[in-house]
Structure 1
């Protein structure tokens, strides 16, 4: 059988009904968890008044959530090997319900924050579980298409969040944001208990030390970024947690690579193609979540839009992204991963540049159109990046790639929101003129940051695929010899 025949055979292999329903169970829980990441963004101005806290404090509802998700995802390489996938899904569903009810009933900000952190456990488990089902149950020739559908879930939810949150908070109460999503979790629990069936592969012990220092790294880095909104970047309030984060990172790397057990095998980053894919994946989600946070805030502070309109401007982009993501996966299956990823990053770079270049004449309508174009680029590249990375490592490392990239995805969102909020807060707190004028300056720097990062990721992707092409040619030459 030729390579082409093998690919066509894999593409035509039937996927069972049980697999589809198992994926739906994980996808519903993942979608709902990610939806709540950004659904509260449009309520930030209201929550600062309700709980008497500042914007850079209330943004921890999103930043802290993403940070906890990141930490939990770091454990999934171990958990998916050690426990039944059905059990992991059940724990995730219960965690979401408990956290959701706490948020809906929260009398003060600390309770709301605690509920968000418990909810984050659910998302931290369900998103890697969704990819775990794909990489274990889907034929290789159809992985691009199925990860495209998974990417649709991951990318559609944060964009729909502000629209959902803005609509509910404008017509009812922000607390209803949490009550209305509970039925989805019940459906997910039912499907998961009946159709998720992947046995553990078995593994060694759990590296608690590495987890502690990884958590310290992530928290210190994000905390340093959040402090930058109040204090000078070179002040001790910012530098001390940043240095602590670097020290914790060094200890984590040493512990994870020299201990008898591993949290996840970060040695997969020794392959340059994996490292470049990881950087690309980080930037894609950084810009996606960062801009999804920025636009509703910018529309309210600068364009004086209502929370409903501020959230609504993201809806067309999210719908376009939902349509593009499966097509992007199919395109990768047929033409290779280079085309959709490079096209996507080029579109994101151009979209960020347009935001920056015409900022002075932006309206709600132009924001809607440019964001839709940017979302097209994001969805072309996002799920294809993890698929490409997965197919370029030995199969025994797939759980580690899944865990690492899921962790990168969430950390990128967490740090992205933190940096974008810090830049906006610095401008609002230290600039001159009206609040709208100061927010305009903050938005200018945020748009520029998104553009530069997208351009850097584009360069990384081009280098990555040149390396992959070179490696493939070497393999073909060795086989022919």
Structure 2
């Protein structure tokens, strides 16, 4: 039994740093390329809806790879997984930097995504394998800071480098970070496999089909009618693939990840809360710059800048949120976080006609405070409430949910905005105002639903604790 004074070794800190550097760099590139889309459409002579797959495809690949980590962490040494991730990142990074055409750039991005899909769950695996339970909250708070700060800095990094030098330098300049991560990982990551099992290729294929079909359907909803064949067919394919995946994963001789962990209501409620937190976080982060430009006529620079203070506030609060959980329990910071997110969404919705860039900056900072109070603590709480042998499955499942929630959150909020811009009344600013109103309402309702789920979850946990 670990005690609160148990020291964390320097080796553990350096192992965490190795995984965190790789994860940070991978997540940084998720958003750093977004600002280069207009230039890349001209360079490679492709349309914007094609170029955006640099990000959408990247996120999907990350999600799919994360689904494999439950098996990989049981089967292979963590050092081997980190080494493979670093090699994949270097190969993909160099391909992107040298890409003569769009297919090579896209291929490089997908290879890079493999590294991010491996490194982020590995970071949490090190925490839950090497950190005493009484200090898990603080360490996952630091991990949450890495995850939330990287996408916030991405557009600033990408925009600055592409303006001063070239978009290709976005890839060259991050290579030294990967080399450092590679060296640290080879010397300090020392965690043996935690189980055995065979790899379920069929389940992985079905999961990939599910994720791709659902995201593709959502991406089409902004252009076509929701009940059109262009939307309904991929949506139905996604649902069928999901049903087949669940059956294959629970009835086959091997498993991709043990989704039976969701049979515990507490775990399912935590998974729902975690999904909503990231859905609202990434969805609103996409919505605000779009809303500022279309509805408030802000410049692209101002539209992007309003997100930065909130992202920095969130990153700074994440370690504090983890320490608060260690001292006071997980319920308090998660309740504070979800109440703040619900109130933030409600403020956006309630005073929308009075919104300016400055007001949006302040309300978004409040919303991001809420997100980071609850985000990492939700996965920590879920992890510590299952038997130890299921922790790699929880890690993989929640990491996968995090990425999928982000991609589907952007897709749905973009579709809602596009539907209103294409079909509403009034000028473009008025139609964008209406689209934003529905998106703010969606964010508020989902946050409130997650708060209710968290309340039920902690009542279940309290009842179980009283029975022991």
TM over 0.5: yes
Corresponding residue number in structure 1 for 2:172: 179
The normalised TM-score by structure 2 is 0.95
State the secondary structure of the residue aligned to 2:204. Answer: helix
Q: 2:204 aligns with which of 205, 211, 231?
A: 211
State the secondary structure of the residue aligned to 1:12. Answer: coil
Contact in 2 for aligned 1:25/1:187 (Cα 8 Å): yes
Give the Cα separation in 2 of the matches to 1:271 and 1:339.
Answer: 22
State the secondary structure of the residue aligned to 1:75. Answer: helix
Aligned length: 468
Q: Which runs of 5+ in 1 are unaligned?
A: 1-5, 476-481
Q: 1:349 aligns with which of 342, 353, 362?
A: 342
Corresponding residue number in structure 2 for 1:12: 5
Shift in Å at residue 49 of structure 1?
Answer: 5.4
Q: 2:285 aligns with which of 262, 279, 292?
A: 292
CA RMSD of aligned residues (A): 1.9
Give the Cα separation in 2 of the matches to 1:443 and 1:173.
Answer: 34
Q: 1:79 aligns with which of 60, 72, 92?
A: 72
Shift in Å at residue 54 of structure 1?
Answer: 5.2
Corresponding residue number in structure 1 for 2:385: 392
Give the Cα separation in 1 of the matches to 2:456 and 2:45.
Answer: 49
Q: 1:280 aligns with which of 268, 273, 276?
A: 273
Q: 2:126 aligns with which of 133, 142, 147?
A: 133
Q: Deviations over 1:280-312 (max 9, x none)?
A: 000111111112222233333333444433332
Corresponding residue number in structure 2 for 1:419: 412
Query: Is 1:322 matched up with 2:315?
Result: yes
Shift in Å at residue 209 of structure 1?
Answer: 0.9
1:437–1:176 CA distance, 2 compared to 1 (3 A): farther
Q: Deviations over 1:9-60 (max 9, x none)?
A: 6221000101000000100110111112222333445545555555544433
Shift in Å at residue 64 of structure 1?
Answer: 1.7
Give the Cα separation in 2 of the matches to 1:426 and 1:107.
Answer: 35
Corresponding residue number in structure 1 for 2:31: 38
The normalised TM-score by structure 1 is 0.92
User: Aligned ranges for residues 77-116 of structure 1 at < 5 Å?
Assistant: 77-116=70-109
1:445–1:101 CA distance, 2 compared to 1 (3 A): farther
Give the Cα separation in 1 of the matches to 2:284 and 2:48.
Answer: 16
Contact in 2 for aligned 1:162/1:310 (Cα 8 Å): no
Give the Cα separation in 2 of the matches to 1:170 and 1:362.
Answer: 30
User: Aligned ranges for residues 249-260 of structure 1 at < 5 Å?
Assistant: 249-260=242-253
Shift in Å at residue 465 of structure 1?
Answer: 0.7
Shift in Å at residue 223 of structure 1?
Answer: 0.8
Give the Cα separation in 1 of the matches to 2:164 and 2:434.
Answer: 31
Corresponding residue number in structure 1 for 2:142: 149
Give the Cα separation in 2 of the matches to 1:367 and 1:439.
Answer: 16
Contact in 2 for aligned 1:27/1:127 (Cα 8 Å): yes
Query: Is 1:269 matched up with 2:269?
Result: no
Shift in Å at residue 420 of structure 1?
Answer: 1.9
Which is further off, 309-318 or 348-357? 309-318
Give the Cα separation in 1 of the matches to 2:352 and 2:262.
Answer: 38
State the secondary structure of the residue aligned to 2:63. Answer: helix
Query: Is 1:27 matched up with 2:24?
Result: no
Query: Is 1:368 matched up with 2:344?
Result: no
Corresponding residue number in structure 2 for 1:195: 188
Query: Is 1:124 matched up with 2:114?
Result: no
Contact in 2 for aligned 1:68/1:121 (Cα 8 Å): yes
Which is further off, 425-434 or 176-185? 425-434
Which is further off, 419-428 or 392-401? 419-428
Contact in 2 for aligned 1:166/1:310 (Cα 8 Å): no
Q: Which runs of 5+ in 2 are unaligned?
A: none
Q: 2:302 aligns with which of 298, 305, 309?
A: 309
Give the Cα separation in 2 of the matches to 1:279 and 1:106.
Answer: 39
Corresponding residue number in structure 1 for 2:332: 339
State the secondary structure of the residue aligned to 1:11. Answer: coil
State the secondary structure of the residue aligned to 2:192. Answer: coil
Which is further off, 266-275 or 420-429? 420-429
Give the Cα separation in 2 of the matches to 1:444 and 1:174.
Answer: 35
Q: 1:410 aligns with which of 403, 406, 411?
A: 403
